[in-house]
Structure 1
Amino acid sequence: MTHDTELPMGSRPIENVAGHWVLARMGKKVLRPGGRELTERMLGAVPVEGRDVVELAPGLGLTARAILDLGPASYTGVDENPEAATIVRSVVEPFGRVVNGDAAHTGLPDDSADVIVGEAMLTMQTDRGKSAIIGEACRVLRPGGHYAIHELGLKPDDVSDDIKNTVRVDLARAIKVNARPLTLVEWRAALEAHGLEVVFAGTAPMALLDPKRVVADEGVRGALRMIVNVLRNRRARARVLGMRRVFRTHRDTLTAVAMVARRPLGDDTEKENEE
C-alpha cells in the first residue's frame, strides 16, 4: 500500500478529503468507476503503439503503466497536484514524463498528441469545466487523433432532472466533490459539441466498492489488505461505508461510461493533402 505521506491529501482530516484519495489511502489502486475491465476496453479501442500519448490527471499511475505496456512513442502525464505528479513520475520515468498543469490549460503545444486519455476527472467538473477540458484536448490533439474518456454516467438516457439532482447531492455529500455525471447521450453530445466523432462507446456497472469488483480490480491479496486497513481506521471506515451506501442506493441510476472520440482531419489538413 502507498504510505499516507505519499498521497496528495495534505494535512486535511480524512472527513474532508475527496473520496478517491480516501480509498487510495486504504490501499485501493483502481479508482475508475468501471474498474480495470472498462479501462482495458477503452484502451483497446485506441491506437496507442508508436503514438504520442497524453494522460490528464493520471491519479496513482495505474493507467499510465497500462499505456506504457502498449508501447507508445511517448507518454506525458498532466496533473495540477504536485504530490500526485510525483507519484506518477515514479511510475513512468524514464520512459515518460509528468508535468504540472491544469487539464484545461495544459501548456502543451498545439497538435502535439495522437492520443489523449482522461479518466474519472470530467465528471468532477461543471458543464463549463467539462467543455474547457474537452476543448483543450481538441487543441492538443493532432488531426485524426483520439480522445479517450472513462467517466461516471447516469441511466437511462431519459432520467429525470429530479433524479439527477438527487444523485448529485448524495454523491457530493459522500465523496466531498461536486460530481456531475452525465447520461450516455449527454457524454456523446459533450464530445460532439467540439467537433469530435465518437468511434467507441462502452458501459459497465458502477460497482467500485462491491466485493466482486474489488477482488477483480485489486486481486485477492489487495482486496484483503484494503479490508484490513478499513477495519483498522474508524474514520476512514465511516467514509468508505458512506460512499458504498450511496453507490448501492443509486445502483439503478449510476453507471460507468467509456468513450473514444476522434478529431476529424479537417478542411486545412484535407487541403494540404490535396496540394
Structure 2
Amino acid sequence: MADPENRPGPHTSPLPGYALLRSLGKGVIRPGGAELTRTMLTALGDLSGLDVVELAPGTGATASAIVAQGPRSYTGVERDALTTRALERVLDGRGTVSVADAAGTGLGSGSADVVVGEALLTMQGDTAKDAIVAEIHRVLRSGGRCAVHELALLPDDLADGVKQDIRRELARPLKVNARPLTVREWTVLLSRHGLTVERADTAPMALLEPRRVVADEGPLGAARLARNIISDPTARDRVREMRRVFRAHRDSLAAVALIARRTTIS
C-alpha cells in the first residue's frame, strides 16, 4: 500500500521518478531489481561481524537483507528525514539511521568494512558522483569493500551522441538529470578514488516490465501498484512514458552491480 503521507494523486506529477514510484507503492526501485541486489549481496559474502554502511537505503528493501545476516553494526545514511521513519521500522532496533548526505555522511574515517549504495550515483552529475565515491573511500577501512548497483549504458564504446540522447530522454519522465555510465566508465570512476573493481554483474534494465514487477513486489504488491497507477491519470502517464523510454533504449540500457575494494590512491 502506498505510504499515506505520499498518497498517489495529482500532486505526484512533479516528483522525481523514484519518488513517484515509491508514492505509488513500488518497494524495489533498483535498475536490476531484487535479483541483482541478491547477486550483489551474495558476492559480498558473509556480512556477520562486519560494520556495514548503506547510502540512501530508502525504505529498507536492501537493509532488511543486510541486517538479517547479523553484521556487527548497520548504519543507513538517508537524507530524507521522512523516509527514515519507514527504514527505522524495518530495522526494528537492529541498526541505526543517520540523516545526512551521501557526500558528507559525518561518519568516522575508516569506520566501515562494507559500504553499499544502490540507484544513487546514476542520479548525480559528475561532480556529485566524484564527491560520493570519495566519501565511500574515506569511510572504508583499508581492504574494505563497496558494492554499488546502478544503471549502465551498453556497450562500453557507445557513441557519445547516443549517450547524450539517452540521458536527455530519461530526464523528461524521471524529472532528474540521470547520468548513467558504461560499465567501463563506472569502473574508472571507482578506481579514480582508490576503489579497485573486483567483480561486475549485469542484468536487463526491466524496472517497469510486468514480470519484473511481480518478481520484485509479489503478486499482491504488483496488483496494488497497478491499481494505484490506474487510479491516478497523471501518474499513469508518467509511468507509461518511463516505460516507453526504457523500452526504446533496451539495447543500450542495463543494470550493473560492482564490487570494489579500497586501495591506496597513487
Distance 1:209 1:259 in 2: 22
Paired amino acid for 1:89:
E
Paired amino acid for 1:5:
E
2:4 aligns to what? 4
Paired amino acid for 2:97:
V
Query: Shift in Å at residue 195 of structure 1?
Result: 1.6
Distance 2:80 2:220 in 1: 29
2:181 aligns to what? 182
Is the CA contact (8 Å cut-off) linking 2:52 and 2:71 kept in structure 1?
yes
Does structure 1 residue 123 correspond to structure 2 residue 110? no
1:43 aligns to what? 41
Distance 1:42 1:250 in 2: 24
Paired amino acid for 1:81:
D
Distance 1:20 1:248 in 2: 17
Distance 1:214 1:239 in 2: 17
Distance 1:177 1:96 in 2: 30
Distance 2:38 2:69 in 1: 11
Q: What does 1:90-101 correspond to in 2, within 5 Å?
A: 90-101=89-100
Query: Shift in Å at residue 2 of structure 1?
Result: 3.4
1:167 aligns to what? 166
1:273 aligns to what? none
Query: Shift in Å at residue 3 of structure 1?
Result: 2.1
Distance 1:25 1:84 in 2: 11
Paired amino acid for 1:171:
L
Query: Shift in Å at residue 40 of structure 1?
Result: 0.5
Structure 1 residue matching 2:13: 3-state secondary structure: helix
Identical-pair percentage: 52
Is the CA contact (8 Å cut-off) linking 1:6 and 1:87 kept in structure 2?
no
- CA deviations on 1:228-250 (whole Å, 9 max, x unpaired) are 11111111111111111111111
Distance 1:4 1:251 in 2: 34
- In structure 1, the gaps of 5 or more residues are 268-275
Paired amino acid for 2:28:
V
- CA deviations on 1:126-156 (whole Å, 9 max, x unpaired) are 1111111010010000011111000000001
Query: Shift in Å at residue 194 of structure 1?
Result: 1.1
Structure 2 residue matching 1:71: 3-state secondary structure: coil
Is the CA contact (8 Å cut-off) linking 2:17 and 2:174 kept in structure 1?
yes
RMSD, matched Cα: 1.7
Q: What does 1:1-275 correspond to in 2, within 5 Å?
A: 1-5=1-5, 13-47=11-45, 48-264=47-263, 266=264
Give the aligned length. Answer: 264
Structure 2 residue matching 1:32: 3-state secondary structure: coil
Is the CA contact (8 Å cut-off) linking 1:6 and 1:83 kept in structure 2?
no
- In structure 2, the gaps of 5 or more residues are none
Distance 2:2 2:10 in 1: 17
What is the TM-score of this pair, normalised by structure 1?
A: 0.92
Structure 2 residue matching 1:138: 3-state secondary structure: helix
Is the CA contact (8 Å cut-off) linking 2:10 and 2:235 kept in structure 1?
no
